[in-house]
Amino acid sequence: MAHFIKTELTALGVEIELRELGKQEGTDVDLPPIVLGRYGNDPKKRNILVYGHYDVQPALVEDGWNTEPFKLIVKDGKLIGRGSTDDKGPVMGWINCIQAHQKAGIEFPVNLVMCFEGMEEYGSDGLDDLIRTEKDKFFKGVDATCICDNYWLGTSHPVLTYGIRGCSYYSVTVSGPSADLHSGIFGGMVAEPLIDLTHVFSKLVSPQGKILIPGVMDMVVPLTPEEDKLYDEIKYSMEDLYAATGSKTNLFETEKESLMARWRYPTLSFHGVEGAFSAPGAKTVIPAKVSGKFSIRTVPNITPRELDECVTTYINKVWEELGSKNKLEIKLLHDGMWWLSSPNHWNFEAAKKATKAVWKVDPDMTREGGSIPVTLTFEEELKKNVLLLPMGRGDDGAHSINEKLDLINYINGIKTLGAYLHYAAVEPMA
């Protein structure tokens, strides 16, 4: 994918470098290179940095896809395939934007600085270090940053995003016997790792979504009356939630409560168990070792290290109370901080005008429940505003089966990206 992007951009006259990052920590696997590009060096123009990622979530037909996930299908006005909306489609949108200007004979309005990575779905390994190393070199002179890697809140109204949650991802491993055991022979005679893991997990979050780990909610910034009023103006309905999830399994009955749960409060989610039998059919085995995976989406003012302390202290306490003879190990697999910006910056004003020009409506100003680890790093290291300008809709199914990007969002998304650059070129900075 990195070489594909390099080929596409080089053909358009973009100066490209594939920056190698070395090995993934603890392995002999090469990290995928970061694509660094620059289109234009006019000192009279502003320098706009755009970010995207070319890696995607895993996908198999057996997961429930209606089509081969890694073959792009165009059907019923939709681009269907893994990465169509997260984030290959938007990355292609920036490439298409350059192509469109060249074919139309229109001068490109800014110097475009590009950073496309291949490890976003696993915590952006290597990218933070590169940004810190290159902030006074490759990234020197950047005036603002635009990230196209999130989605509309619903399905009908465009948005701009000024805040995202962080993410801390953990594994809890329980091990006991030296090998898997026959449940008919050893069941009831040995402490079973999967039973112990299930007990531990049941103590982390309630079925209503309440985090049970002491100290986590104490770090959350209290809701103010001013913030509370912001939710009243957001164009979102419970029908949008039903459409996006394909169900009516909502935990809350109102839009405001649902959005607060998604944007401003932390959540804990379970993601899977490694080592347990999961294939079709029946297998009467006692797993010797199982690793449960869960993550906590973080918000202001939760800090990763304080959260780690809360998580490990509480799980160890639960484990001690359980009194099992099995062994427990807790690991932080990766983490990323939350981010909150100012939506009144000239960078956002340019995006608002671009959205209005293309979609004929004013965008909603939203926060997002997902995580983009690099957002905060760009803002802190470059000392410049960061904008999230989404292309896809809330029902695109990113990270899920049958991921799609509506063609109208792709085409109008490219127009919006282009219009944004033109407005960003002239928007007063004061």
Q: Note the Cα 336 to chain centre separation in Å.
A: 10
**The residue to which tokens 């091990």 are assigned:** 175
| Amino acid sitting at position 74 | V
- Running DSSP on this structure, what letter comes out for residue 336? E
Amino acid at 8: E
Catalytic residue among 87, 120, 396, 406: 120
Secondary structure (3-state) at 61 = helix
Can you read off the two tokens belonging to residue 87?
Answer: 């984030």
DSSP letter, residue 122:
G
With contact defined as beta carbons under 8 Å apart, do 382 and 142 qualify?
Answer: yes
- CA–CA dist 390, 314 (Å, integer): 38
Q: Rounded to an integer, what distance in angstroms lies between the CA atom of residue 222 and that of residue 67? A: 45
Residue closest to 153 by CA, chosen among 392, 410, 405: 392
The C-alpha atoms of residue 406 and residue 76 are separated, in whole angstroms, by: 9
- 63 tagged catalytic: no
Query: CA 280, CA 16: separation in Å to the nearest integer?
Result: 47
Tell me if 65 sits within 8 A of 401, measured CB to CB: yes
Query: Would you state the torsion angle of the CA atoms of residues 371, 377, 378, 380, taken in this order, to the nearest 10 degrees?
Result: 130
Query: Which residues, 6 or more positions from 23, have their beta carbon under 8 angstroms from its beta carbon?
Result: 29, 30, 31
Backbone phi, psi, residue 178, to 5°: -75, -15
Catalytic residues: 55, 120
